[in-house]
């Protein structure tokens, strides 16, 4: 009898892990706009079909006006970037792709960090490392910025204590003043500085990093990559002043009750 009980429990746990990690979900957020963006984040080493065919097909089906990749497209111990290159090439055939760095791109060993950015440069992706690009869609001018902050906001040595804090002034030092003309879209991997992003002048900020809290119970994320419980802004749309912070639960890493997602926004 005990053996049967443990077998049933093991099967339930296995099913929970499978259905929390294998399905690729699409979350849709209608923010009342006329431009459709697909948000991809935290792919790490995950593959959805051969050469990410399932992921690419899901994004293509949404017919986006542009695609945002808000960091951690790879993981820090990755050395072969052939799959991410083919994935990026395929996405660029769907719509313009804008991308920023996450903490894993920043913490790649120097040799492979250079190789990664060289690989991205061989595609049509607009990789924004404290730079910006402009796009006009449906008569709206969008200025898209990619923030690459100091790594101290993520980790210091081997410690997650006394981390650096981003302020609007620090962001201005990295990106310059927020422009007055057009709408300002910011890609910033770390979602914990929403107030600073708003004060700097972003209209929308695309973030990831927290993986939805890894485990989600009753809609609450449990753990952040910084080993902190119940992290704020783990998944969803958050409002800071006149800015909307758009946080994806991402695609990679092991998760529970928190399936991989892409997010479609009407902004």
pLDDT tens digits, one per residue of 212-253? 999 999 999 999 999 999 999 999 999 999 999 999 999 999
Each residue's pLDDT tens digit, 48-94? 999 999 999 999 999 999 999 999 999 999 999 999 999 999 999 99
Antiparallel, parallel or unpaired: β 126-127 and 97-99: parallel
User: According to the model, what pLDDT value does residue 13 have?
Assistant: 37
CA-derived radius of gyration, the chain: 18
Q: pTM for the full model? A: 0.94
User: According to the model, what pLDDT value does residue 181 have?
Assistant: 83
User: According to the model, what pLDDT value does residue 8 have?
Assistant: 38
């Amino acid at each position: 009898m005990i053996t049967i009980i443990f077998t049933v429990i093991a099967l339930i746990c296995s099913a929970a892990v499978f259905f929390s990690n294998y399905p690729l979900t699409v979350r849709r957020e209608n923010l009342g706009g006329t431009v459709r963006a697909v948000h991809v984040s935290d792919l790490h080493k995950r593959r959805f079909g051969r050469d990410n065919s399932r992921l690419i097909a899901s994004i293509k089906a949404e017919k986006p006006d542009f695609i945002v990749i808000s960091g951690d497209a790879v993981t820090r111990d990755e050395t072969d970037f052939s799959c991410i290159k083919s994935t990026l090439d395929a996405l660029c055939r769907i719509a313009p792709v804008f991308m920023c760095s996450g903490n894993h791109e920043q913490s790649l060993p120097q040799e492979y960090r250079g190789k990664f950015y060289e690989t991205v440069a061989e595609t049509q992706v607009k990789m924004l490392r404290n730079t910006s690009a402009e796009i006009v869609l449906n008569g709206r001018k969008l200025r898209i910025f990619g923030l690459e902050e100091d790594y101290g906001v993520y980790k210091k040595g081997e410690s997650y204590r006394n981390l650096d804090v981003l302020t609007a002034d620090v962001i201005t030092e990295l990106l310059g003043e927020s422009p007055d003309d057009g709408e300002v879209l910011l890609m910033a991997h770390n979602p914990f500085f929403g107030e600073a992003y708003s004060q700097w002048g972003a209209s929308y900020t695309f973030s990831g990093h927290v993986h939805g809290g890894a485990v989600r119970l009753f809609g609450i994320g449990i753990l952040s990559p910084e080993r902190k419980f119940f992290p704020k802004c783990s998944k969803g749309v958050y409002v800071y002043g006149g800015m909307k912070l758009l946080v994806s639960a991402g695609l990679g890493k092991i998760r529970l009750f928190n399936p991989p997602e892409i997010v479609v926004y009407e902004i």
